[in-house]
Amino acid sequence: MTNTHNNNFEKNSDKKILFIVHLLHPYVKQRIRVGENLGIFPVNMYQSNGIIDGIILNIYENDMHNEMDIDQLRIMMFDLLNTKLNSLFENEKWHKKSVSTNIILEEELKQLKEEFTVDAGNDLIMNEELDDISYHQNDQNKELPYVDAQNHVLTFLDINNVAEFKSNNKEATLSKTYYSLPISTSNVVDLYLLGKLNMQEIANILQIEIVEVKRILDFVKEKFKKNIN
């Protein structure tokens, strides 16, 4: 783009936000998926559009964007999203405990050989009534992380032979390894691979040292490579 075009773009806050939004969705979608697969978020309780729209509304209401260049605005939006998502993980973690309790109760019912199960309110219902998707949230397949950014992931893992990577169940191994990571660790990886933030930007958002970000990424990289080789 020409300098004039660049200047006009920088001065138009609406265009800046729209440009940044497409960078936010892959990151937010994956964090929601992590929460669902860990049993912290009920399936389909949260959508990336809703979370991102809330961040944009906050920015406009507080007039936080007009004097920022696009990089400053991008970092601020990721910072706000990270804070929002951390809050959701903290506030919704009771769902995981609820799921664990239901599993125990269901096992007791199996021992009684009854054709009943327990719903979210600990009420007995017939198994044939369990057609609602909410009763099957833990039966979902763990979608492979980074499907939309596979080339970036393969570069991160120094993988040149894509065909070999897709053979021998290596994608499933990658998924299993990813979902075994602590939430805070997978968040660093998501910010790097999906948010396309550099290590210094991640360190600033998470308020940690850049050497810690590098240590986490190196650890995850070696863990991934070890498990898929």
Q: What is the pLDDT along the chain (229 residues), one digit of tens a residue?
A: 445 444 554 456 678 888 889 889 999 999 999 999 888 898 889 999 999 999 999 888 877 666 778 899 999 999 999 999 999 999 888 766 654 444 444 554 455 444 444 444 444 444 444 333 333 344 444 555 555 555 667 777 777 666 666 666 677 788 888 888 899 999 999 999 889 999 999 999 999 999 999 999 999 988 888 887 7
Neighbours of 142 (CB within 10 A): 15
Cβ neighbours of residue 9 under 8 Å, at least 6 residues apart? 1, 15, 16, 19, 70
CA-CA distance, 68 to 20, in Å (whole number)? 13
- Determine if the pTM surpasses 0.75: no
Specify the pLDDT at position 166: 67
CA-CA distance, 162 to 166, in Å (whole number)? 6
Specify the pLDDT at position 146: 57
Share in percent of the chain as helix, strand, coil (round to 5): 70, 5, 25
